[in-house]
Amino acid sequence: MRLSEHTYRTISTIAGPLLFVKKVFSARIGEVVSVVSPEGVRMDAEVLEIEGDTALIEVFGETRGLDIGRTSVTFTDSVRKVPLSEDIVGRIFNGSFRPVDGMPMFIPEKWIPITGRPMNPSARARPEEFIETGYSVIDGLNTLIKGQKLPVFSCAGLPSKELISGVLKNSRLPGKGGRFLVVFAALGLAFHEYSYYMKVLEDMKTGFVAFVNSADDPVMERLLAPRFALTVAEFLAFEKGMDVLVIITDMTNYCDALREISTAREELPGRRGYPGYMYSDLASLYERAGRVKGMEGSVTMLPVVTMPEDDITHPIPDLTGYITEGQIVMSRELQRMGIFPPVDVLPSLSRLMQKGIGKGRTREDHRKISNNLYKCYARGRDMRRLEAIVGRDGMTEKDRKMLDFADSFEKEFVGQGEGRRTIAGTLDTGIGLIRRFFPEMT
Amino acid sequence: MTGKILGISGPTVSTDLRGLKLYERVYVGHSLLTGEVVRLEHDKAVIQVYEDTRGLAVGEPVKSVGLPLSVKLGPGLLSGMFDGLQRPLRKLREEMGPFITGGKEIYGLDFQKKWRFSPVVKSGDETAPGDILGTVADGAFTHYIICGPDGRGRVSRITEGEFSLDEPLGLYEDGRMMLGCHEWPVRSPRPYRKKFPATEPLVTGQRSIDFLFPIAKGGTAIFPGGFGTGKTILEQSVAKFADVDVVVYVGCGERGNEMAEMIEEFEGLKDPWTDRRLMERTILVVNTSNMPVAAREASIYTAVTMAEYYRDMGYHVLFLADSLSRWAEALREISASLEEMPGEEGYPTYLASRLSGFLERAGVVETVGGRRASLTMILSVSPPGGDFTEPVTQACLRTTGAFLMLDTSLAHRRHFPAINWFQSYSLYSAELGGYYSEKISPEWEKLQGRCTEVLQKEETLREVAEIVGAEGLQDSDRLLMLIAEKIRTEFLSQNAYTEDAFAAPEGTLALISRIFGFYDRMLKKMIGGVSLEDALKAEDKT
């Protein structure tokens, strides 16, 4: 047993972010370590591996300026923990959990390990209540359900940031008096994104907790920030009874950070250089979404993945899709046609939607409307292919109608613009479209 | 015996504890995390820990148990829900709340519960391991009490009546106790007398499987498919409707919400073959993707051992795992932390042999007790990027009997189950087609052949139609395309959420006969000179 902090000056090797420290007494795996350079610069680090009395530790941040003789290493005997309190609501932090909104740190009510504990599958309650995002294409056809994890698959250059800020501002739980809150984690933001999101958050004033990691912040923080966010979300959900929506953008930056750190640790690379455990690692984040039987709150997750080279089979969207319950897929074609939000309905899917819509949840006719819209739009898209071959004139009256429907559906239903639509507005727009083109279906 | 932790790297721990055996179970650290010995060197042993190792310190104790990783087998497993180490999740929840912490030993069986035992052996009888000692009623299910591995001897006393699992049912002449439960190491297949070729079908209630790509009782099948192709829904449909006595379902590294949904659904559903609650014939082993990786590796062994236990009672057992890829990934992760030489895509080179060793635990057997029983395995595979050339799918192909490929483009068209009828195959097709032809109707095989032919021709015609337009085709070709569409939408598609989710073989045959009956009538008319449009109109009227 050891009781307090131990400090050593026994570094034997420094390689990139990794330090080997010798003659360490009883180190713990995952233990938080602080490293102080000869100039007095303090850095956070963590124990990665232990072999006898040698500990391998990883420094978060630049190891420039460290040396072997004078750098001191302090072992804290504790794994990484998150300070928690209800006062966290409305605050903005960086990836090391330091406030960046100009206000002092809150006084923590308790500290909880950052990794969280896996939810017992028998304690999970089935997700079945709907969250309104204000976007017709999500609420109407790919409904987000409380406790679900539903990623947005975007491509470089598409307005995912506008889509996300819309969700940040507009999402709510309709009808119920419960407390709803957004926890926002932004990873590896470029300055123009950073200033955009900060503006959105400032306008919101409260109803959120934000963690913001900029593109030039330490890479390791990109792995920590989502875990801070989720630990905060679990605390607010399951101890304070709030319904929490966690938005993480961009998971591609997260995975690249994971790859970078894995390579520095000299681990065996898997597909495209990403580590073999990336599935388990992503699952340790995504699976923290859920509801618990007999408890009030919930954690819902909306991560954003920018698909490298627009490739949905790239390991990041691929592994994400295997863990999450559906996906919202953004499309370049729709963007080119000036439609916002440019969400392609056909490859998009919300697996939990069926349980959360209909009478008593959204509206009785929701299922029928969404099925009809999907069916007609899918036919319309098929017709576009036919049109390319035989030309519009070579098509039957019925086929042309399908074609026109698809155009109007994209412009009016999907392309709602910046504004917010209630679920009733969404469904009425849908009915209106079907009535106009296919009166026989209603 | 107690030793100390020397080093820790991810889920593996090295210790100075002497006298350990390979694959022996050990307790690691002050919080007694469960682990298994995976490597022995001259001065240390390497342990794979089944729980989160964060916070574990060098110098903490390691205790040996003296036994390999085993499961407890006895009445009360059915309708249970366990983690990868057979800890009952419901009880775990009662004791530690909704989130799981490590280091808690809770047995998979309830040792308090009383069971009513009726013996079938009497004093003076000789028993051997695998023999049936008597029965207890587990709900409506007859649970045979099987003699454990050390159960050889002459019975001196055996009594009927109420007993709990820690009380003896009787005594042997040498004074040893006869117990209602025993332990079995998960990595050793349970023995049987003889193995037979698989010749009887496993009715899944899915038309596309039973009719085109049937699976045999005692056979093995895989469902590979990219995300969103409906692997889990298909696995669950088979779990609901298969004509077996016991189903063991492993949620291996998959979603927690899905499992919550499945449990709720199974509680409310009835077994279509016996009218009992579906849960009463089901055992769930759940290791969701965020639960410790090493336990995920063990979970399929834990589950298959329980499945074999029910097989040994003479039952037909179905083992389903979703998904095998997650198991292989766990194997890869452990292999990497042991610093083994990697093979293809980082998987250890023993992936294929481990996998085939595991798949060989399926089969139709004569049990040690002399009964004929079967263990069928259906496994889903999640190939990265939907690429079927990856190592796990390829390793499976060498040993499995049926390959049911789930197709992303079918799934996008909302055609479910999205089984691709060109790429899939079943090695049991000929054998089982013969079985159905004999038992249901001689038409079965004939229609099966015609069905495949129509689908094949449609594919060729579709290419032509894309160039010349559907109107440019001959009437007979247009009719064929119409029939193919009927087969696809009315026969091969099955909505898992409606009454249609289950189709008995008789119904399957009736439906396909109806489609081909229609085809034949149309053909006849058209040979008589009637155009397709007129023939269709005439058909509409009747």
| CATH code of residue A49 | 2.40.10.170
Residue A1 inside a domain? The answer is no
SS (H, E, C) B231-256: HHHHHHHHHHHCCCCEEEEEEECCCH
Of B52, B98, B386, the CB nearest to A119: B98
Residues A92 and A129 in one domain: yes
Residues A35 and A102 in one domain: no
CB neighbours of residue A190 within 10 Å? 11
- What pLDDT does residue B390 have? 93
Question: How far does B8 lie from chain A, in Å, by closest CA?
Answer: 5
Residues A97 and A74 in one domain: no
Residue B402 inside a domain? The answer is yes
**If we measure between CA atoms, which residue out of A40, A41, A49, A44 comes closest to residue A20?**
A49
Chain A residues whose CB is inside 8 A of the B332 CB are 276
Residues B314 and B419 in one domain: yes
Last residue of a domain, one of A34, A62, A79: A79
Task: Please indicate if any CB of chain B lies within 8 Å of the CB of A271.
Answer: yes
Residue B101 inside a domain? The answer is no
Task: Please indicate if any CB of chain B lies within 8 Å of the CB of A221.
Answer: no
- What pLDDT does residue B507 have? 95
Q: Phi then psi for A180, rounded to 5 degrees? A: -115, 140
Residue A213 inside a domain? The answer is yes
Residue B418 inside a domain? The answer is yes
Contact A271 B384 (CB under 8 A): yes
Residues A276 and A399 in one domain: no
Chain A residues whose CB is inside 8 A of the B46 CB are none
Task: Please indicate if any CB of chain A lies within 8 Å of the CB of B99.
Answer: yes
Task: Please indicate if any CB of chain B lies within 8 Å of the CB of A378.
Answer: yes
Task: Please indicate if any CB of chain B lies within 8 Å of the CB of A361.
Answer: no
CATH of the domain at B145: 2.40.50.100
- What pLDDT does residue A219 have? 87
Residue B94 inside a domain? The answer is no
Mutation site for B-interface testing, chosen from A31, A124, A319, A346 by largest number of B Cβ within 10 Å: A124
Chain A residues whose CB is inside 8 A of the B41 CB are none
- What pLDDT does residue B536 have? 87
The number of distinct structural domains making up chain B is: 4
Residues B11 and B150 in one domain: no
Last residue of a domain, one of A298, A333, A356: A356
User: In whole angstroms, what is the distance from residue A399 CA to residue A387 CA?
Assistant: 9
Chain B residues whose CB is inside 8 A of the A292 CB are 98
Residues B393 and B531 in one domain: no
Task: Please indicate if any CB of chain B lies within 8 Å of the CB of A317.
Answer: no
Cβ pair A78, A50 in contact under 8 A: no
Mean per-residue pLDDT over chain B, rounded: 91
Residues A95 and A216 in one domain: yes
Residues B267 and B374 in one domain: yes
Greatest Cα pair distance, chain B, in angstroms, is 91
Residues 64-93 of A with CB under 8 A from B: 79
Chain A residues whose CB is inside 8 A of the B9 CB are 49-51
Residue B219 inside a domain? The answer is yes
- What pLDDT does residue B542 have? 67
Residues B213 and B282 in one domain: yes
Residues A159 and A240 in one domain: yes
Q: With 90 as the cut, is the pLDDT of residue B432 above it? A: yes
User: In whole angstroms, what is the distance from residue A370 CA to residue A353 CA?
Assistant: 11
Residue B74 inside a domain? The answer is no
Chain A residues whose CB is inside 8 A of the B261 CB are 126, 355
Residues B157 and B273 in one domain: no
Mutation site for B-interface testing, chosen from A24, A48, A49, A50 by largest number of B Cβ within 10 Å: A50
CA B202 to chain centre: 13
Chain B residues whose CB is inside 8 A of the A269 CB are 346
Chain B residues whose CB is inside 8 A of the A284 CB are 289-290
Residues B141 and B251 in one domain: no
Residue B87 inside a domain? The answer is no
Residues 5-24 of A with CB under 8 A from B: none
Cβ pair B7, B13 in contact under 8 A: yes
Q: Quick one: pLDDT band at residue A2, thresholds 50, 70, 90?
A: low
Of B8, B92, B286, the CB nearest to A50: B8
Residues B382 and B503 in one domain: no
- What pLDDT does residue A206 have? 85
pLDDT digits (tens, 9 = 90+) for B37-49: 999 998 899 999 9
Of A276, A319, A390, the CB nearest to B336: A276
Residue B93 inside a domain? The answer is no
Of B93, B255, B345, the CB nearest to A323: B255
pTM of the prediction? 0.92
Of B56, B98, B467, the CB nearest to A123: B98
pLDDT digits (tens, 9 = 90+) for B105-146: 788 899 999 999 999 999 999 988 888 999 999 988 999 999
Q: With 90 as the cut, is the pLDDT of residue B336 above it? A: no
**If we measure between CA atoms, which residue out of A262, A254, A232, A274 comes closest to residue A187?**
A254
Using CA coordinates, name the residue in chain A closest to B232: A322
Work out the average pLDDT over B370-396.
Answer: 93
In order of A53, A77, A405, B57, the CA distances from B61 in angstroms are 16, 17, 70, 9
CB neighbours of residue B501 within 10 Å? 16
Q: Quick one: pLDDT band at residue A397, thresholds 50, 70, 90?
A: confident
Residue A217 inside a domain? The answer is yes
Q: Quick one: pLDDT band at residue B518, thresholds 50, 70, 90?
A: very high
Q: Do the bridges between strand A92-94 and strand A54-59 make them parallel or antiparallel, or are there none, so unpaired?
A: unpaired
Tracing tokens 């022996």 back to the chain, one arrives at B24
Residues A11 and A136 in one domain: no
Residues B328 and B218 in one domain: yes
Residues B454 and B417 in one domain: no
Residues A74 and A90 in one domain: no
CB neighbours of residue B467 within 10 Å? 8
- What pLDDT does residue A176 have? 64
Task: Please indicate if any CB of chain A lies within 8 Å of the CB of B342.
Answer: yes
CATH of the domain at B381: 3.40.50.300
Residue A198 inside a domain? The answer is yes
Under DSSP, the state recorded for B270 is B
Mutation site for A-interface testing, chosen from B6, B92, B227, B392 by largest number of A Cβ within 10 Å: B227
Percent of chain B beyond pLDDT 70?
Answer: 100
CATH of the domain at B43: 2.40.30.20
Work out the average pLDDT over A419-429.
Answer: 93
Residues B337 and B211 in one domain: yes
Q: What is the ipTM of this complex?
A: 0.88
Q: Is the peptide bond before A341 cis (omega within 30 degrees of 0)?
A: yes
Q: Quick one: pLDDT band at residue A205, thresholds 50, 70, 90?
A: confident
Q: Which residues, in sequence order, are CB contacts of A131 under 8 Å at separation 6+? A: A144, A145, A146, A171, A172, A173, A243, A245, A300
Please give the residue range of the domain that contains residue B474. Answer: 443-541
pLDDT digits (tens, 9 = 90+) for A243-300: 999 999 989 999 999 999 888 888 888 888 999 889 999 999 999 999 999 998 999 9
Last residue of a domain, one of A331, A356, A381: A356
Percent of chain A beyond pLDDT 70?
Answer: 99
Beta bridge partners of B47: B13, B37
Residue pairs between chains A and B whose CB atoms are closer than 8 Å: 187
Task: Please indicate if any CB of chain A lies within 8 Å of the CB of B389.
Answer: no
Residue A300 inside a domain? The answer is yes
CATH of the domain at B460: 1.10.1140.10
Q: With 70 as the cut, is the pLDDT of residue A177 above it? A: no
- Token pair in block for residue B257: 């919400």
Question: How far does B297 lie from chain A, in Å, by closest CA?
Answer: 13
Q: With 60 as the cut, is the pLDDT of residue A1 above it? A: no
Mutation site for A-interface testing, chosen from B31, B95, B290, B324 by largest number of A Cβ within 10 Å: B290
Q: Is B484 left (phi over 0), alpha (psi -120 to 50) or beta?
A: alpha
pLDDT digits (tens, 9 = 90+) for B94-103: 998 999 887 7
Work out the average pLDDT over A355-374.
Answer: 90
Work out the average pLDDT over B378-382.
Answer: 95
Mutation site for A-interface testing, chosen from B255, B259, B337, B495 by largest number of A Cβ within 10 Å: B255
Q: With 70 as the cut, is the pLDDT of residue A128 above it? A: yes
Of A27, A267, A352, the CB nearest to B57: A27
Work out the average pLDDT over A153-181.
Answer: 88
Coil, helix or strand at residue A311: coil
Coil, helix or strand at residue A298: strand
Task: Please indicate if any CB of chain B lies within 8 Å of the CB of A318.
Answer: yes
pLDDT digits (tens, 9 = 90+) for B19-40: 899 989 999 999 889 999 999 9
Residues A201 and A239 in one domain: yes
**If we measure between CA atoms, which residue out of A127, A131, A143, A149 comes closest to residue A370?**
A143
Q: With 80 as the cut, is the pLDDT of residue A3 above it? A: no
Residues A220 and A177 in one domain: yes
Contact B55 A30 (CB under 8 A): yes
Residues B224 and B355 in one domain: yes
Q: Which helix (H) or strand (E) holds A35?
A: strand A31-36
Residue A70 inside a domain? The answer is yes
Residues A381 and A251 in one domain: no
Tracing tokens 């713990």 back to the chain, one arrives at A28
Please give the residue range of the domain that contains residue A28. Answer: 6-79
Work out the average pLDDT over B211-227.
Answer: 95
pLDDT digits (tens, 9 = 90+) for B227-280: 889 999 999 999 999 999 999 999 999 899 988 888 888 888 888 888 888 999
Question: How far does B515 lie from chain A, in Å, by closest CA?
Answer: 24
CATH of the domain at A141: 3.40.50.12240
Residues A67 and A183 in one domain: no
The number of distinct structural domains making up chain A is: 3
Using CA coordinates, name the residue in chain A closest to B287: A121
